Chain A
Amino acid sequence: MTVRTRRRTIFGFLGPAVISLALIGIGPLIYAFWTSLHFFNLTKLKKVKFIGLENYGEVLTDPVFWEAMGRTFTLLIIALPLQIALGLGIALILHRPGLGILKTLTRLSLVLPMATTYAVVGLLGQVMFNLKYGVVNQLLGFLGIDPINWIGDPFNAFAMIIFWDVWQWTPFVALVLLAGLTTVPGEIEEAARLETKNWWVVLRHVQLPFLVPGLVAVLILRTADTLKLFDMVFTLTRGGPGASTEFISLMIQRVGFRAFDQGLASAQAIILLIITIILAQAYIRLFYKEV
């Protein structure tokens, strides 16, 4: 096979994927960047003009943007550790020998929350957490607890979003970590258990090193997902009450598609992308190097 033929073959295999990726992924990104450098409002297209970095300046000095960013990171800081802790617990239980059919059923049921459409989760939340008719308050009533105003109270609405995010994504973490646990060589784990009965020691020194790649993947994916969290919150609270659940993606959607300021929304989205990339890099450097 000549060098030329080999190149053609490589291009034949890789080309379609690279071109598709460029068209679907890179193209819109370049367009978003171009838009972010313009005054670009869909309802004022006659006034479109190049304004350089003005949109970026407006975003970076806009307290509403940073409040939304703060809310998003608050959600991330609370929900992600909960998901990892609960997911790890579930993974460790499922990793134990025995349990038979129960284990299979549990694995299957773990897929259900993940398979539920985000928007449907929000609609479920509206019904279940309804102040007067919701099943959650009905159950609390059986325990003698007064109905809680979940959707209409800023603090409770935020707590409800955390609950749903944890409900939906803990199974994902559990399955990833369970897969990680299966990579621990059986003889090493067995030897460790003969050495000590302390589960923490086994986890810390034997299992955890094998879980790190999975954990980093979880951190990156869940961080990106949380920063992009939109559908569930949109259908559940629409960012309210007030601005208490207006996360960064909702804000970008509001600016871009309800106020139609595509230029400003694009600048917000590009800044969000930069933050996401920085975080992903930080996760990889911190965890891969130190463990």
Chain B
Amino acid sequence: MRYRTSVCGLALAAGLGLGVAQASEWTLEKAAAPYAGTTVDVVFLLRPGYEAAEAMLPEFEEKTGIKVNIVKHPYENALGEQVRDFVAGGDFDIALIDLVWIGNFAENEWIVPIDKFTSNPDLLDPELDLEDFFPLVLNAFGGWGGTIYGLPFDNYSGLLFYNDCMLKEAGFDRPPETWQEVMDIYGPALTRDGRYAYALQSKRNETQSADSFARFLWPFGGSFLDENFRSNLLSPESQAGLNFRQELMKYMPEGIVSYDHAETVNALAQGDVAFITEWSAFYATLKNPETSKIADCLKIAPEPRGPAGRKPALGGFSLAVTTQADEKEQAAAWLFIQWITSKANALEYLERGGVPARQSVYQLPGIAEKYDFVPALVESWQDGVPEFRPRFAEWPEITEIVQEWGTKMMLGEVSVEEGARIIGEQMEAVLEEAGYYAGEKPLIQ
């Protein structure tokens, strides 16, 4: 493995016009020497992947003398904090970018394309090997308009986490393969005695738009926008998906519109529901007997298929260097990003509870057996949709619209059709104002 990665690294270095001898001499310590004593500031979330990275930090700081100052925020505050910091020319040297923020950050020129660093032999780790990242993940999380800005760091795919014991009790020897099976077979059989078949996190925040609304668009052939950037929410496919979600609510716990990730994961962990569709990042919580009653019964599968295929939820973060950082901070920030997302560190990151986006780590012997979410995750990352949620700069405005009306739909305050119509109209108004229809902006999402 070590031999293979070295070869890949050298090949990349050669491709960039670097001498093999120079590449082989590269070490993190040497590269970081001019930046010892530099402090880089970064936002981290309160999630397992970030705890894993934080636990690994002392090694980086010891090797480089670069101090990484972590500012922790819950997800819901992370965008606002960073935007205010960038607008004010603040302190953050590294941007933490949810895939739906990448267009916003790139268009505002708050982040630096990685070319600036990969073209500098003093900063480029010869073993960077961009091709080792899952292509979907690298392009969706870190890329915008054909340029790579960030490297995938905290990576998610939607997975089906299920309580195998509960399924077996009900006579099932496998998890649902399709959404139709969930509706027709698993839902009725598993919703009884105060327990429910399925919990779909649908709280009115990004959870509603990403985890709930979008999850039932794509597998049914729907989407937010058509090729002309007009609303596609009234198409038969989108309507089928949203109506399906509405009907499926009878197999979900009461008050599902108030369920965020914590409540949903907890519902499975406590044995109250048979399965959930959640981000891979919650594996550590559900597998830990201290936080999950069903740790021994937990199994993982890819999300069920719809008529249009699996098209699982795709989410996750990349780390990118900010333009507001000075040259020294930018170099130090890049070295940290390159190190924490490296092939060499992927295994440790995984073992500490993170989910790396390196293909090579999942090919290591024993990994698929030890981490039983791996096969489903790898399969999901082959079949994902980068624009699962549009990644353009207007998403923060559009997600607010989806959150409000998506929740109202679920509550029955508006019909699915009426809600979809309103979201569509308001979404198009935002896009109109942004200049997409006047040809001022390219139709990329």
Q: Name A residues whose Cβ lies closer than 8 Å to a Cβ of B.
A: 42-45, 131-132, 149, 151-154, 157, 237-243, 246, 254, 257-261
- Chain B residues lying within 8 Å of A132, measured Cβ to Cβ, are 253, 272
8 pairs, CB–CB < 8 Å, chain A vs chain B: A131-B254, A132-B253, A152-B256, A238-B203, A241-B407, A257-B80, A258-B396, A260-B396
Which of B270-293 touch A at CB < 8 Å?
Answer: 272
Q: Decide yes or no: A240 and B258 within 8 Å by CB, A43-B393, A259-B396 being known contacts.
A: yes
Q: Chain A interface mostly helix, strand, loop or mixed?
A: loop
| Nearest CB of B to A259, in Å | 4
A residues within 8 A CB of B205?
Answer: 238
- In the complex, the answer to whether B83 meets A242 with C-beta atoms within 8 Å is no
Contact of B204 among A44, A153, A241, A260 (CB under 8 A): A241
Question: B residues touching A (Cβ–Cβ < 8 Å)?
Answer: 79-80, 83-84, 87, 104, 108, 203-205, 253-259, 272, 393, 396-397, 400, 404, 407-408, 411, 413
Q: How far is the CB of B402 from chain A (nearest CB, A)?
A: 12
Q: State in angstroms the CA–CA spacing of A281 and B255 once bound together.
A: 42
List the A side residues contacting B255 at CB < 8 Å: 131, 149, 151-153, 241
Contact A242 B404 (CB under 8 A): yes
List of B residues within 8 angstroms of A237 by Cβ: 258
Q: Establish whether residues B397 and A42, one from each chain, have CB atoms under 8 Å apart when the complex forms.
A: no
Min CB distance B209 to A, Å, is 12
Chain A residues whose C-beta falls within 8 Å of the C-beta of B256 in the assembled complex: 152
B257 and A45 within 8 A (CB): no
How many angstroms from the CA of A241 to the CA of B254 in the assembled complex?
13
In the docked arrangement, what's the CA distance between A131 and B84, Å? 36
Closest to B257 in A: A241
Is the pair A242, B204 in contact by a Cβ cutoff of 8 Å? yes
Partner of A242, one of B79, B84, B253, B411: B411
> How far does the alpha carbon of A151 sit from the alpha carbon of B411 in the complex, in Å?
12
Interface pair A45/B87, CB less than 8 Å apart: yes
What is the bound-complex CA distance between A157 and B258, given in angstroms? 10
Q: Across the interface, which residues of A come within 8 angstroms of B203, CB to CB?
A: 238, 240
Apart from A132-B272, A241-B411, A259-B400, list 12 A-B contacts with CB within 8 A: A43-B108, A44-B393, A152-B255, A152-B256, A152-B259, A157-B258, A237-B258, A238-B203, A241-B255, A241-B257, A242-B413, A260-B396
Chain A residues with CB under 8 A of B204: 238-242
Which label, helix, strand, loop or mixed, suits the secondary structure of the B interface? helix
| CA gap between A119 and B397 in the complex, in Å | 25
Q: How far is the CA of A177 from the CA of B87 in the complex (A)?
A: 47
Task: Tell me the complex Cα distance, A132–B411, Å.
Answer: 19
Contact of A152 with B404 at beta-carbon distance under 8 Å, contacts A45-B108, A239-B204, A242-B204 already known: no
Q: CA of A237 to CA of B108 in the docked complex: distance in angstroms?
A: 32
Residues from chain B with a CB closer than 8 A to the CB of A242 are 204, 257, 404, 407-408, 411, 413
9 tightest A-B CB contacts, nearest first:
A152-B255, A240-B204, A152-B258, A149-B255, A151-B258, A241-B257, A242-B408, A259-B397, A242-B407
Docked CA distance A261–B400 (Å): 12
B residues near A131, Cβ cutoff 8 Å:
253-255, 258
Cross-chain contact B104 with A43 (CB below 8 angstroms): yes
Complex partner residue of A243 from B80, B254, B393, B404, CB under 8 angstroms: B404
Across the interface, which residues of A come within 8 angstroms of B413, CB to CB? 154, 242
Cα distance A242–B204 in the bound complex, in angstroms:
7
Q: How far is the CB of B409 from chain A (nearest CB, A)?
A: 9
Q: From residue A145, how far is it (CB to closest CB) to chain B in Å?
A: 15
Closest to A39 in B: B433
Which among B80, B254, B255 has the highest number of chain A CB atoms within 10 Å? B255
Report how far A132 CA is from B257 CA in the complex, Å.
14
A241: B residues at CB distance < 8 A = 204, 255, 257-258, 407, 411
> What distance in Å separates the Cβ of B303 from its nearest Cβ neighbour in chain A?
24
Residue in A closest to B204 when the chains form the complex, CB atoms: A240
User: Which chain B positions have C-beta within 8 A of A151?
Assistant: 255, 258
A42 close to B87 (CB less than 8 A): yes
- Complex Cα–Cα for A133 and B411 (A): 22
**Whole-angstrom distance between the alpha carbons of A258 and B256 in the complex?**
23
Give the docked Cα–Cα distance between A99 and B428 (Å). 66
Closest to B407 in A: A242
Question: Measured between C-beta atoms, what is the minimum distance from A160 to chain B in Å?
Answer: 11
Residues from chain A with a CB closer than 8 A to the CB of B397 are 259-261
Residue of A nearest to B254 (CB): A149
Q: How distant is the Cα of A45 from the Cα of B94 in the complex, in angstroms?
A: 21
Report which of B83, B254, B404, B407 forms a contact with A260, defined as CB distance below 8 A: B83
Name which residue of chain A comes closest to B104, CB basis.
A43
Q: Separation in Å of the B92 CB from the closest CB of chain A?
A: 15
- With a 10 A CB-CB cut-off, give which of A238, A246, A261 has the most chain B CB atoms: A238
Roughly how many angstroms separate A133 CA and B304 CA in the complex, as a whole number? 30
How far is B396's CA from A103's CA once the two chains are assembled, in angstroms?
Answer: 53
Q: Cα distance A254–B256 when bound, in Å?
A: 22
Chain B, Cβ-Cβ closest to A237? B258
Choose among A131, A258, A261 the residue with the greatest number of B CB atoms under 10 Å from its CB.
A258
Q: Do A240 and B407 form a contact, CB below 8 Å, given A42-B83, A259-B397?
A: yes
B257 neighbours in A (Cβ, 8 Å): 152, 240-242
Please indicate the chain B residues that have their CB under 8 angstroms from the CB of A261 in the complex: 397
Q: What's the nearest-Cβ distance from chain B to residue A249, in Å?
A: 16
| Nearest A residue to B81, CB-CB | A257
List of A residues within 8 angstroms of B108 by Cβ:
43, 45
The distance in angstroms between the C-alpha atoms of A148 and B370, with both chains bound, is: 42
CB of B441, distance to nearest CB on chain A (Å): 11
* Chain A nearest Cβ from B406, distance in angstroms: 9
Residue of chain A at shortest CB distance from B206? A258
- Give bound CA distance, A43 to B400, whole Å: 15
Q: How far is the CB of B82 from chain A (nearest CB, A)?
A: 11
Tell me, in angstroms, the Cα distance from A242 to B403 when the chains sit together.
8
